[in-house]
Structure 1
Amino acid sequence: MRPGRTPTPASLAPDTLDLLERVLDARLPPAYRDWLGRRNGQTPENRHVTFMKNGRPSSTTLHALYAVNSEHSFNDLWHYHSTYGQELRPWYLSIGNDDGGNQIVLALKGPNHRKVFFHDHEVPFDVGLHLIAPSFEAFLTGLTPG
């Protein structure tokens, strides 16, 4: 850690989570809010993600789940949302990325509310969005070693 940097908090207080929801103008799905509260973006041990892409099975490796107030901007949820959030439309929040820089996206509102998606950053948003899991809980449960 460089001098002057504050270490990433291992957990988050409810008031920090409330502030995040006010900034996003959306309630976080309970399982994701709980994950941030308890683990604040710590990457799970199992990191292999599977999903369907254009009707075919596909997979990737989770690089990181973003933390709130991370000591590194490249893993910080605030930084990512303020810098790139407009690209994700108002209903989606990028919660992490894979080893290739593609995003793991959580729907906060709308018809896909609470679903978790893989977003291929090399194609337009609507074309590059592929369902991983119907909820954050299912996303975590579906991760396998790899």
Structure 2
Amino acid sequence: MSKSRKPTPVSLAPDTLDLLERVLDARLPPAYRDWLATRNGQMPESRVISFMENGKQTDTRLHCLYAVNSEHDYDDLWHYNSNYGGDFRPWYLSIGSDPFGNAILLAVKGPNHRQVFFSDHEVPFDVGLHFIAPSFEAFMDGMTEG
């Protein structure tokens, strides 16, 4: 028999976000924190992500944005980052993925703080990390329909 889980909360209380920041030992960029507080895991209508890879324009499709305390493991921020995010921490937090299992990362520390990146899981991390946007707001605004 499977364990019953509560539905994914559509918003998060400040104390939940404070706990997330303590666990990560990092301050979430304000726009991402606000998004979790009001839209926890909700998908935007526009989902095509464009970025430069090896000098050429490429794109992928957003498969999911992770939610805190999600009803499902596959799109849960805590679950994904505690089980698969070891290569990214402490500098990056995986906030979502594309259909091929590549991570969408938000820099939560260091010189790239607040920037959003694509991480190709089929190559070494330092080779497969590609800049998407200077901020979470720019990332959300930059996605297109397709």
TM-score by length of structure 1 reads: 0.97
Letter matched to residue 75 of structure 1? D
Letter matched to residue 43 of structure 1? M
Distance in 2, matches of 1:89 and 1:5, equals 27
- Shifted more, 80-89 versus 18-27: the winner is 80-89
Q: Which residue of 2 aligns with 1:58?
A: 58
* Structure 1 unmatched runs, 5+: none
How do 1:83-122 and structure 2 match up within 5 A?
Answer: 83-122=83-122
Percent identity, please: 72
By how many angstroms is 1:96 displaced?
0.0
Give the CA RMSD over aligned residues. 1.0
Distance in 1, matches of 2:3 and 2:46, equals 32
Q: Which residue of 1 aligns with 2:136?
A: 136
Distance in 2, matches of 1:42 and 1:104, equals 15
Distance in 2, matches of 1:5 and 1:16, equals 18
How do 1:23-62 and structure 2 match up within 5 A?
Answer: 23-62=23-62
Distance in 2, matches of 1:36 and 1:58, equals 28
Distance in 1, matches of 2:128 and 2:145, equals 25
Letter matched to residue 86 of structure 1? G
Distance in 2, matches of 1:41 and 1:91, equals 21
Distance in 1, matches of 2:76 and 2:120, equals 20
Q: Which runs of 4+ in 1 moved over 3 A?
A: none
TM-score by length of structure 2 reads: 0.97
By how many angstroms is 1:109 displaced?
0.7
* Structure 2 unmatched runs, 5+: none
By how many angstroms is 1:3 displaced?
6.8
**Equivalent residues, number:** 145
1:72 aligns with 2:72: yes
Distance in 1, matches of 2:88 and 2:114, equals 15
